[in-house]
Amino acid sequence: MKLSRPWFWPSWPTRLRAGCIVSPDQYLRHIPRLFRALGAGSFEAGAVHRSPNGAGVAIWLPPGVHGDTALVEAAIADSVARDMQGDVGAVFEMTEHHRPSEPHWYLSLIGVEALHQNKGYGAALLEHALYYCDREHRAAYLWSSNKQNTSLYQRHGFEVVTTIQVGSSPPIFLMLRRPR
């Protein structure tokens, strides 16, 4: 699956857009590399799902599969404004600190084309993966920098574990869903 469709980048939450990547052209130039780094293990594990019409995608890391930290760090170093790199690194570090210790599914990225949002594609992508979480009796973990998205996750059983904020970052909502 190719993740460089232009619609995906502007609809991605504020994780890195909030002053970290200073211009839209830099965002479009650098974010595909960061997405590939964040999702490398997901592609290899077959844990990337898209809606039937291609309007949405969810990138999960299954239990025992981890992203490539070196690739992520390199992508951040090349794409994030130098004065923001410490804050971004600290945010990633804190989200990892709060990650569950037991085997779990991690929602690395989810996005729906702006013209197709609020039509159930994000919910369907979540439900698809959460079915497997429940079948395997595994928790699911995510973090969101967009407060508006937390209600979608809560409707699917996620609870806010804690909220973190580093420097000028937006509030980051760490969320966990226990298996049902």
In whole angstroms, what is the distance from residue 82 CA to residue 163 CA? 25
Q: What is the pLDDT of residue 34?
A: 79
Q: What is the pLDDT of residue 20?
A: 59
- Amino acid occupying residue 10: P
Q: What is the pLDDT of residue 176?
A: 97
- CATH 3.40.50.800 for domain 8-177, yes or no, is no
Q: 3-class DSSP state for residue 176?
A: strand
Q: What is the pLDDT of residue 84?
A: 79
Q: What is the pLDDT of residue 121?
A: 95
In whole angstroms, what is the distance from residue 80 CA to residue 175 CA? 25
Q: What is the pLDDT of residue 18?
A: 46
Query: Angle, to 10 degrees, between the axis of helix 69-79 and the axis of helix 24-45?
Result: 170
Q: What is the pLDDT of residue 75?
A: 79
Buried b (16+ CB within 10 A) or exposed e, 4-26: eeeebbeebbbbbbebbbeeeee
Q: Are 137 and 61 in contact (CB under 8 A)?
A: no
Q: What is the pLDDT of residue 16?
A: 45
Task: Please list the pLDDT of the chain residue by residue as tens digits (180 residues).
Answer: 333 333 333 333 444 444 455 567 777 777 788 778 878 889 889 999 999 999 999 999 999 998 777 887 787 777 777 777 788 878 888 888 888 999 999 999 899 998 999 999 999 999 999 999 999 999 999 999 889 999 999 999 999 999 999 887 889 999 999 999
